[in-house]
Every structure is written in structure tokens, then in C-alpha cells.
């Protein structure tokens, strides 16, 4: 339709699609919602509540409590996922249909990067779903270690 790069959908269109998903489950279209979704989508990695609340798009936009409650609603409706990632603070990531990420985390400097390799867990996940009867099954896979930069010479 338009001059979009052929590999990636333009950011704004994904944001609007996601807003639409939110509207369908009964959430209202607010400035804070759009900014939050955009911020999450722009980020290559999961972010903490503190990071989100302090980010450019949200800092003057709204209170930390607002971001918290917004995230809460989004998690509840399956638009955002809350991750552990070993830190004291929780991390949040946008669930874009068809996109799945596992992470590689440096236990020394805390850097988080998404792993590109295909996730080898889906088969086991199907098996568990079948054998245990768990519903809404999903997994979280993280690799921890000390990255080259942090390894002492």
C-alpha cells in the first residue's frame, strides 16, 4: 500500500494494531497507552517498570503508578508478558503475534539481548500441553553467563 520497508512492518502500524487489540478487550485509547506500547515496541529487549516510567515518551506523560496499572491491565489481557529475568525488578515485553524471544543475559553487567536462533522448546511444550492438560501454556527460556566484555583478561 505504501512505501514500507519490505522486511519489517512500520512501527506505527504495529502500534495501531495493538491498540486495536486493546480496544477489543475493553481498554480505552489513551495517550499513555499509545506511548507505552510504542516504547515497548521500540525496545529490543524487555524493560522494567522503572525504565518505562522514566523513558522519554512516558516521563512527563504520566505517573509511575499509571504505568504500573496500565501494564497490569495489558498483562491481564495477554498483550504484554511479565518476565522474571533474575533481577529484583520485573521485566515487561510486548507480545507481538508470531514473535517469540528467548534471552541471553550477562550476570555481570546485566545486558540483555534477544536470541535469534530458533527456539528448541516448542516440541517439549506441545508434549507437556498434551500430557498434563495445562491450559495457556507458554515458556520462558533464558541463558545466563558472563559476556566477553566482562570476562577479566
Partner DNA sequence: GTAATTGCAAATACTTTGCCACGTA
Partner DNA sequence: TACGTGGCAAAGTATTTGCAATTAC
Q: CA-to-CA distance for 83 and 40, rounded, in angstroms?
A: 14
The least CB distance from residue 144 to DNA, in Å, is 16
Does 43 engage in binding with DNA (CB under 7 A)?
no
What torsion, rounded to 10 degrees, do the Cα atoms 43, 48, 50, 53 define? Answer: 40
Listing DSSP states for 69-115 in one string gives: HHHHHHHHTTSEEEE-TTSSS-EEEE--TT---EEEEETTT--EEEE
Decide whether 6 or 88 has the Cβ nearer to its own copies. 88
The listed partner (DNA, its own copies, none) that binds 32, CB under 5 to 8 Å by sort, is DNA
Which segments within 1-53 are labelled E, that is strand?
47-48
Q: How many CA atoms lie within 13 A of 110 on its CB side?
A: 8
According to CB under 8 A, which one of 1, 6, 120, 153 is a site residue for its own copies?
Answer: 120
Q: Which of residues 60-79 bind DNA (CB under 7 A)?
A: 61-66, 68-70, 72-73
* Candidate ranges 39-47, 57-65, 107-115, 122-130; the one touching DNA (CB under 7 A): 57-65
Q: What are the residues binding DNA (CB under 7 A)?
A: 23, 26-33, 48-50, 61-66, 68-70, 72-73, 88-90
Q: What are the residues binding its own copies (CB under 8 A)?
A: 82-87, 104, 106-107, 115, 117, 120-121, 123-125, 127-129, 132-148, 151
Amino acid at each position: 500500500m505504501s512505501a514500507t520497508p519490505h522486511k519489517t512492518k512500520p512501527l506505527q502500524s504495529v502500534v495501531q494494531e495493538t491498540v486495536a487489540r486493546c480496544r477489543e478487550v475493553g481498554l480505552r485509547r489513551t495517550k499513555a497507552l499509545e506511548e507505552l506500547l510504542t516504547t515497548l515496541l521500540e525496545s529490543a529487549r524487555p524493560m522494567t517498570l522503572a525504565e518505562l516510567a522514566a523513558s522519554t515518551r512516558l516521563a512527563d506523560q504520566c505517573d509511575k503508578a499509571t504505568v504500573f496499572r496500565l501494564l497490569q491491565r495489558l498483562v491481564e489481557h495477554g498483550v504484554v508478558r511479565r518476565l522474571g529475568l533474575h533481577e529484583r525488578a520485573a521485566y515487561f515485553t510486548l507480545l507481538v503475534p508470531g514473535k517469540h524471544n528467548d534471552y541471553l543475559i550477562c550476570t555481570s553487567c546485566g545486558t540483555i539481548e534477544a536470541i535469534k536462533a530458533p527456539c528448541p522448546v516448542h516440541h517439549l511444550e506441545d508434549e507437556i500441553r498434551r500430557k498434563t492438560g495445562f491450559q495457556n501454556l507458554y515458556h520462558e527460556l533464558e541463558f545466563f553467563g558472563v559476556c566477553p566484555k566482562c570476562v577479566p583478561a
